[in-house]
């Protein structure tokens, strides 16, 4: 082991080992990719601090390679063009790591506060809501008018919303029917 970064890369790959990958089914490729990303989100949320490592490395360990191979097999089997599939591996990893790392920052703030998670988050977002409601409606009509919508969704719901947008964009690159052509 050369340095701290190498150790973190090993830990990162070990965490990735908890992610279950499906056997690719071209008929269910989009659903399978969504399930795989949600599984990654679940695992990284449980180890949120390590998500920071994923923002500064390209996984080359056995578990990272296993997941990348599965993602490619799923996408290529579903007819996603090879270049699009290759780029999407990076984008999906960035999306998962960014979201779970942000979550880890909230957890750090919660721990530092000494409050339980529910109390901390309720108080934190309550303060944000109060602030937005106090904004002058003439200057910020959309923020004030949409405060309920802005505050309504929680972390997982927001993650799923963003993932669905990414996957719809990915699906727009598929012409007709599954194929394994490269």
How many beta carbons lie within 10 A of that of residue 41, not counting itself?
Answer: 23
Q: Which residues contact 76 (CB under 8 A, 6 or more apart)?
A: 82, 85, 179, 180, 182
How far apart are alpha carbons 127 and 130 in whole angstroms? 5
User: Which class in CATH covers the domain with range 4-115+155-171?
Assistant: mainly alpha
Give the helix ranges, DSSP H, for the chain: 4-16, 29-46, 51-54, 62-77, 82-113, 117-134, 141-145, 147-152, 155-171
Query: What are the structural domain ranges in the chain?
Result: 4-115+155-171
Per-residue pLDDT tens listing for the chain (182 residues): 678 888 888 999 999 999 999 999 999 999 999 999 999 999 999 997 889 898 888 889 999 999 999 999 999 999 999 999 999 999 999 999 999 999 988 888 888 999 998 898 889 999 999 999 999 999 999 999 999 999 887 889 999 999 999 999 999 999 755 454 44
Residue 51 CA to residue 180 CA, distance in Å, equals: 32
Both structure tokens of 90: 């990076």
The percent of residues in the chain predicted with pLDDT above 90, rounded, is: 69
50 DSSP 8-state letter: G
pLDDT number for residue 182: 47
């Amino acid at each position: 082991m050369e340095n701290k970064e190498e150790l973190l890369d090993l830990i990162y790959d070990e965490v990735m080992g908890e992610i279950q990958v499906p056997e690719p089914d071209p008929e269910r490729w989009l659903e399978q990719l969504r399930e795989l990303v949600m599984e990654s989100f679940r695992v990284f949320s449980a180890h949120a601090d390590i998500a920071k490592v994923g923002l500064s490395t390209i996984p080359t360990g056995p578990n990272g390679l296993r997941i990348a191979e599965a993602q490619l097999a799923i996408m290529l089997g579903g007819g996603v063009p090879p270049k699009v599939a290759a780029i999407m591996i990076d984008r999906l990893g960035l999306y998962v790591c960014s979201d779970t790392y942000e979550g880890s920052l909230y957890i750090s703030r919660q721990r530092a506060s000494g409050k339980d998670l529910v109390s901390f988050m309720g108080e934190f977002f309550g303060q944000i809501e109060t602030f937005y409601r106090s904004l002058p409606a003439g200057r910020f009509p959309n923020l004030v008018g949409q405060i309920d919508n802005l505050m309504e969704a929680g972390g997982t719901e927001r993650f799923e919303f963003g993932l669905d947008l990414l996957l719809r964009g990915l699906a727009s690159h598929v012409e007709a029917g599954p194929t394994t052509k490269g």
